[in-house]
Amino acid sequence: MSKIILCMHTTLDGFVAGPKGEMDWINLSPGMFDFVGKLTDRANTALYGRVTYQMMDGYWPTAGDQPNASKHDIEHSQWYNRVTKVVLSRSMKNEKRERTKFVGDNVLEEISKIKQNATGDILIFGSPRACHTLMALDLIDDYWPFVNPVLLGQGIPLFDKIKDRTPLHLVGTKTFAEVVSLHYERKRQG
């Protein structure tokens, strides 16, 4: 069975965006792009919430075709165009798009089916509300928070709507300049 992997930049105090959705505090580096590229190589499905999907779909399909496209833009654009996209959205659930499935109802059942049938990992980049839904349904297998050296004090939290204690196992860490990536696996019973 495939794993659902959450990759998300976060502040040291646990926010993924400021109160108005601002993410100008995120530190990026070429080494980080190469590292995340290894995760995308093992994934054939991307999972998004509606807002993040619309933002991603407005940029990534042609990002690699631009004359000034970076190595990361080219590689991520190619990945985005070949993978299946799953979008959690009630307002878009009846839309039809190539390589895209919209899930608006029966999230636990639908995502569990997708997880069972996927041939590679399922990655979530961004999409905090979708992540909160998946966390509440205990569907996330691996957590990869990229902890940035900033405290916001308020904003959109990384962790929300968690009903019960969720045991995790630290698999490893990786440092990129001032950003630390933590890799935790969900401990499952049995």
pLDDT at 15 over 80: yes
Within 8 A by CB and 6+ apart from 112, the residues are 139
pLDDT computed for residue 190 by the predictor: 59
Residue 175, SS3? Answer: strand
Average of pLDDT values for 93-117?
A: 91
Best CA proximity match to 33, nearest among 177, 168, 184: 177
* Lookup: tokens for 80: 């985005």
Over residues 40-89, the pLDDT tens digits come to 999 999 999 999 999 999 999 999 999 999 988 999 999 999 999 999 99
Domain spanning 4-157, CATH class: alpha beta
User: What residues does 5 pair with on adjacent strands?
Assistant: 123, 142
Domain ranges of the chain: 4-157
pLDDT at 1 over 80: no
pTM, full prediction: 0.91
